[in-house]
Structure 1
């Protein structure tokens, strides 16, 4: 029994090392632009809307009035989701230097420039 537990511990430790060496693939801005460009297949549109919505929802969920003040302030009535995504695609295509950067960070930067909060 002790041998089996020891074997499982060794296997677990080895798999942890293997997992630690794996490089996690991050979606690039170019990949997101490719999914969001029109005309889009239903699958691409669903991915684009889901991914971009998740980025913004995560941003909203991580805001704290004291420690993480907002830097994206969407005025109401808000533009349509399709308009914002279309503007993001144009922004990324006009800024070729960001295409190899992680999509989430570039999308948040775009939103911050498109919907800045009022300065106090």
Structure 2
């Protein structure tokens, strides 16, 4: 019984080591731009909208209003989603230095520039 437990523990440790060495691919800005270009297929458009919306919603949900001042302020009524995505694609294409950077961070930076918060 002890040998079985030792073998199981060794397998679990090896499995954890293998998982720790596994790299997680992060979506690059260029990959997101390739998906978000117009005209997009229904699948591409759905992915693009889902990804960009999730990044923005995560920003809204995780920013603590008392500890972190907002850096993205979208006035209502908000512009059309397709207009914002089109502007992001143009931004990324004209700033090739961000092509290999993680898409989520570049998108947040774009949003901060496109929708800056006024000083209060």
- Tell me the TM-score range normalised by the shorter chain: over 0.9
Correspondence for 1:72? 72
- Give me the TM-score of the superposition, normalised by structure 2: 0.96
Structure 1: 4+ residue segments shifted above 6 A:
none
Work out whether residues 62 and 68 of structure 1, in 8 Å CA contact, stay in contact via their aligned partners in 2. Answer: no
Gaps of 5+ in 2: none
Q: Tell me by how many angstroms 1:68 deviates.
A: 2.0
Give aligned pairs, total: 120
Q: Tell me by how many angstroms 1:118 deviates.
A: 0.6
Which moves more between the two structures, 101-110 or 3-12?
3-12
Distance 2:39 2:5 in 1: 56
Q: Tell me by how many angstroms 1:2 deviates.
A: 2.1
Give the aligned CA root-mean-square deviation in angstroms.
Answer: 0.8
Correspondence for 2:31? 31
Correspondence for 1:107? 107
Q: Tell me by how many angstroms 1:65 deviates.
A: 1.5
Correspondence for 2:14? 14
Distance 1:91 1:58 in 2: 22
Correspondence for 1:4? 4
- Give me the TM-score of the superposition, normalised by structure 1: 0.96
Distance 2:7 2:50 in 1: 42
